[in-house]
Amino acid sequence: MRTPIQQTLQGAVVLAALAATAFTPQAGLAAPHPQQEGLVTGVKPYSVAYSTDYVVKPIFSVGERIVRTTNPAEEFQLVGIPDGMGAHELPGGKVALFMNHEFPITVQSEPIVGGPT
């Protein structure tokens, strides 16, 4: 039997991994829906939940921009092709999520729009 934190961690990893499958470059990227609460992308997910205990909710896709929570004057954009994820528990029941990205050798990233590459 899993504890609530184990379920949360597993759910976060599953959600993030499933959401990441939608993060592939596409010709027509949809903008996030401003009328919906939180981050939601218009890009259709390529995965489905493997259990009714989970819901696939892709939050944003490659090239889309979101306002940084640490500095609202800056924007963050997902760059490269996410190809690996991990998570661990933080104090207070929060979860830290990590993602690594795949880049062609000639591509420079610009995760902070207008920032250093």
Q: Is residue 25 part of a domain?
A: yes
Residue 10 falls within a domain, yes or no? yes
Asked, for residue 72, whether it belongs to a domain, the answer is: no
H or E stretch including 88? strand 81-89
* Parent domain of 49: 4-61+82-100
Q: Does residue 67 form part of some domain?
A: no
The alpha-carbon radius of gyration of the chain (Å, integer) is 15
Whole-angstrom Cα distance, residue 11 to residue 4?
Answer: 10
The residue length of the chain stands at 117
Kindly state whether residue 56 falls inside one of the protein's structural domains.
yes
Q: Is residue 49 part of a domain?
A: yes
Three-state secondary structure call for residue 34: coil
Q: What is the pLDDT of residues 60-89, one digit of tens each?
A: 788 888 888 888 898 888 887 777 778 899
**Domain contains 38:** yes
The verdict on residue 9 lying in a domain is yes
Query: pTM (2 decimals)?
Result: 0.46
For residue 25, what pLDDT is reported?
35
User: What's the domain count of the chain?
Assistant: 1
In single-letter form, the type of residue at position 2 comes to R
Per-residue pLDDT of the chain in tens (117 residues, 90 and over written 9): 445 444 444 444 444 444 444 333 333 334 444 444 567 788 877 677 888 888 777 777 888 888 888 888 988 888 877 777 788 999 998 888 888 878 777 767 666 777 765
